[in-house]
Amino acid sequence: MEIFYAREAAYIKLLGWEHFFYMSLILFLVFVLIAQRRRLYLYQNALTRIILGVSIFQQVLLYAWYFFETGFDLAEALPLHLCRISSVLSIVYLLTKKSILMDVVFYYGLYAYASFVYPQAIYAPYHLLGISYLLNHAITLILPIVSYYAFDWRPKVQGLIISMLSFLIYFGFAYYVNGVTGGNYFYLTNRPFFHALPAWQFNALAVGVTLLGFYLAYWLVSGRKKSV
């Protein structure tokens, strides 16, 4: 039974069946939403309730697991990964429909794509934290699509600027918290790649690539026609 909840359970392997399962399910959800994009507007209220309910359930599942299984270890349990910040902002967005929040979720959520392509320290889909991972990242990825077609959200320059500035603040804070708690927020301590680079070079590269990615995402999405 411990494989379903234990902290010591094995992580999934890159390109293993669990990895393909996660990617396939996300691609399926995205495909369905894109295929039905012109009908999403008709189900605004239902989509809001469903996604909000799943988001709140995921938050309870995640932090209950950290509390009971790790004693809420500050090195891992704080909401300082971008996906966790996006989850909280998604809930607030669904409650308020403030478009600026969706902008930040959209840009921060770009890392959810990276997480599915190159997963780091991810549990299997039958593990409690694996379920939380899937729900968290699925919502982070599909909510911008739903917001675009159902809630008429469009990324704005103001949102891009706020997302860039808030990321810089986040990055500095995550770096500080890693030093205090021994954590690995934003994977700055145990890097997924570029292990040979000095810390300052890796950090500068991470910031530069992130800001460039935000801008490219804005350029790509803002240029789409509403009728698409």
Question: Residues 34, 36, 37, 43: is their CA dihedral positive or negative?
Answer: negative
In the predicted model, is pLDDT for residue 139 greater than 90?
yes
What was the pLDDT predicted at 225?
52
What was the pLDDT predicted at 3?
80
User: Could you tell me which of 122, 47, 53 has the C-alpha nearest to residue 83?
Assistant: 122
| Cβ atoms of 136 and 58 closer than 8 Å | yes
Residue 154 φ/ψ region, left for φ over 0, alpha for ψ in the -120 to 50 degree band, beta for the rest: beta
Using CA atoms, how far apart are residues 51 and 48, in angstroms rounded to an integer?
A: 5
Render pLDDT for 5-52 as a digit per residue (tens, 0 to 9): 899 999 999 999 999 999 999 999 999 999 999 999 999 999 999 999
Render pLDDT for 213-224 as a digit per residue (tens, 0 to 9): 999 999 999 865
What integer is the mean pLDDT of 104-118?
A: 93
What was the pLDDT predicted at 158?
96
What was the pLDDT predicted at 62?
97
In the predicted model, is pLDDT for residue 159 greater than 60?
yes
- Global pTM value: 0.92
User: Could you tell me which of 159, 191, 161 has the C-alpha nearest to residue 175?
Assistant: 191
Render pLDDT for 63-107 as a digit per residue (tens, 0 to 9): 999 999 999 999 999 999 999 999 999 999 999 999 999 999 999
